[in-house]
Amino acid sequence: MTAMARKLRFLVSGTDTGVGKTTVACALASGFTARAMRVAVMKPAETGCELRDGELIALDALALRAAALSSAPLELICPYRYPSAIAPAAAADLDGLEPPDLGRIRAACEQLAHDSDIMLVEGAGGIAVPLTWRENYADAALELDLELILVVPNRLGCLNGAVLSLDYATRRGVRVKGYILHDVDAAPSLAARTNVRSLGRLTPAACLGAISYGQTVVGKICERLLG
């Protein structure tokens, strides 16, 4: 058994892009760090990176590193960076850059996790988004032995994406820790007020909690993940 295999480790994925994965992952990293836990973070592939002075800047990865109070090099936290804001496999093609390699990602993940209590890996888009044209984030979760935390945007229309994502992950053999409802709109809607009850009737996956709009304190969710 490797050092990484003895750790608590999670893939933070979403039903879609723009649902708050980085916000939630950073909040979790801060929450675990506040409990004096050693937190390792990773964003294996980040697209939509800005080019500054000849370097691709991975803003999500930098935010994760700051939230975890990590001093790990960005080359480990985010080994693959692309300027095009599309799926990693497509970005690699369009940008003429090397596509992600799961072997290299696993090696980086093991190195990061070695001296940590918690490993948080943030995906890009949803769990079926292609890292390469042969592998997606479900494959990454299986390769890195990550449990899925699904970020669900608490708004009208989220039920379909949540149920399909959880069902796909289960059919692929990914261990599902549960889902987090994240308010993406400041004003609560009828759907936002009823989604938690609806999802409870539609999927056996556990609701780990809900994060209100603008909230960053997730102590109860961290306790559930540790439990």
Return the C-alpha torsion angle 212, 138, 9, 34, nearest 10.
-20
Look up residue 14 and give its two tokens: 């979403």
CB 74 within 8 A of CB 58: yes
Residue 177: active-site member: no
Residue 80 parent element (H or E): strand 80-81
The residue from 7, 21, 43, 177 that is catalytic is: 43
Count of C-beta atoms within a 10 Å radius of residue 193: 10
Look up residue 67 and give its two tokens: 């939230």
Look up tokens 């879609």; give the residue: 16
For the purposes of burial, counting CB atoms within 10 Å of the CB of 198, is it exposed (0-12), middle (13-18) or buried (19 or more)? middle
Count of C-beta atoms within a 10 Å radius of residue 133: 12
Q: Report the catalytic residues.
A: 43
